[in-house]
Structure 1
């Protein structure tokens, strides 16, 4: 046991310090003490000995702003009508140029009217016969009713005369209705434009036998067009609140108008007015369908065209607008740096709103007159000294 213990034990080693090492350690201690004394006496440069950071500032101002958003939209004619034949027959003639403007009431097609004219003639003859029978029955009724009042005619004769005049009246009404129907069908052989607009291509050429309901062409109203688009549910809520506020302020419904741009961002000279907002959110898309009406008298927009609409969602009064690059992320959220009276950087937490025309809306945290650091804020810290370089 004693031999094993001696085999695993080691003798204690002693470390000796020379007089030269003691002198060097004392010199280093003196130098550290001197440097510490200089810093504590304010002889250093800036915080922790760092020089002031150069920064550029701008004085904060408040202004009004309107937050808008853009959405894709599709142009449609205010009215788009399919023109169909209301009677059958041989299509004799087309009286319009495809793709050109037509006016309401213009004759677009002519269907062979001869069969319908014959039907009118027959209805007229039937009406004449019914009229004659009615007149005869009326005369008989007057004669018999007079005799019946003087007890010169029996009750049976009286009833027969009354039944005859009622039947004659019914036949006359039926003949008048038949003539009106025949005349209507004759009018339908002339296919008219139901609205004014641009006519499409014909689907059936002259000489074809068509039936009732055959599609012939279509017409799109272009002097007034509709812009169909949809916005997210959250934006729809903002829009409704904004619209209520503008109505309350009697500002001529500013929130109900939209600006129109093409896919390249170029603005049109037209302006649309919201005339429909869906009463519910589409459960499949999470969006609210909207529609704007545009006076397109100058034909700037074409039905089927893709455009973008800009809609006002919020209005701000007396808010601060700053460059978004001046905002950084602090321990408590978004923050900016301002310069206080001792030319030190001060971190200021801010509450942000949306961006308007590339500027960041600041709802809380900045006031008019604050000196906001707009350049050099990346290199500064809260409480660090700064050197304002504006104009230098």
Structure 2
């Protein structure tokens, strides 16, 4: 196996330590992904491994904490001293505000979401984005606790539009699947309608053709 040492930002390391404390130090839920520029192989040149160490000291010069992970290294493709990138999957975020990523669109003033006012009318709100955690987008600024955010597909929503709200069940992955399925269905219906119009136009006789000698 290959052992790779890398540096985690201080905040990520603190939250990871909190996550490990909640799971009695079990690191099995954290998957490490290693990629090497130009590495040929399966999964697009990416190796999967496990986190096996998280340091307890912060480097004051870089505000990072040392960590390490182990990877299977078939055929010795990754060499000692080689430059690699490590990405951790399965990290939890604590005490943050997040919305389904699909709820965020790009407005004139930057990233935005729609919130509902007391009359259930959509109001545009510019937000500052943090990290993406799976189907969730962390919001650093622009929203207040308790505000109602439109989490469905924002396509077609305009400021001032009245919306009949339905409580979100919290399953962001299912929400994304539902929206993608609805979009695919709509595209299929549009394609079928266009095909029917094309067939109808082909069957119609040209003007002035009937009775021509």
Where 2:60 maps in the other structure, the secondary structure is coil
Displacement of 1:259 in angstroms is 1.0
Unmatched runs of 5 consecutive residues or more in structure 2: 164-182, 191-213
User: Would the alpha carbon gap of residues 385 and 263 (structure 1) be closer, same or farther in structure 2, given more than 3 Å must change?
Assistant: same
Alignment partners' CA distance in 2, 1:300 and 1:310: 18
Displacement of 1:242 in angstroms is 2.2
| Counterpart position of 2:32 | 258
| Counterpart position of 1:272 | 49
| Counterpart position of 1:284 | 61
| Counterpart position of 2:85 | 308
- Kindly indicate whether residue 154 of structure 2 is the aligned counterpart of residue 374 of structure 1: yes
Aligned length: 152
Alignment partners' CA distance in 1, 2:120 and 2:54: 53
Structure index of larger Rg? 1
- Kindly indicate whether residue 9 of structure 2 is the aligned counterpart of residue 235 of structure 1: no
TM-score (norm 1): 0.30
| Counterpart position of 2:101 | 322
Where 1:298 maps in the other structure, the secondary structure is helix
Higher helix share: 1
Report if aligned partners of 1:339, 1:373 keep a CA contact under 8 Å in 2.
Answer: no
Alignment partners' CA distance in 2, 1:298 and 1:237: 35
Displacement of 1:325 in angstroms is 1.7
| CA offsets 1:30-53 (integer angstroms, 9 cap, x no match) | xxxxxxxxxxxxxxxxxxxxxxxx
Higher relative contact order (CA 8 A, sep 6+): 1
Report if aligned partners of 1:225, 1:293 keep a CA contact under 8 Å in 2.
Answer: yes
Displacement of 1:281 in angstroms is 0.8
Displacement of 1:274 in angstroms is 2.4
RMSD of aligned C-alpha atoms? 4.4
Alignment partners' CA distance in 2, 1:315 and 1:241: 10
Unmatched runs of 5 consecutive residues or more in structure 1: 1-223
TM-score (norm 2): 0.51
- 1:166-205 mapped onto 2 (5 Å cutoff): none
User: Would the alpha carbon gap of residues 306 and 351 (structure 1) be closer, same or farther in structure 2, given more than 3 Å must change?
Assistant: closer
Alignment partners' CA distance in 1, 2:78 and 2:92: 28
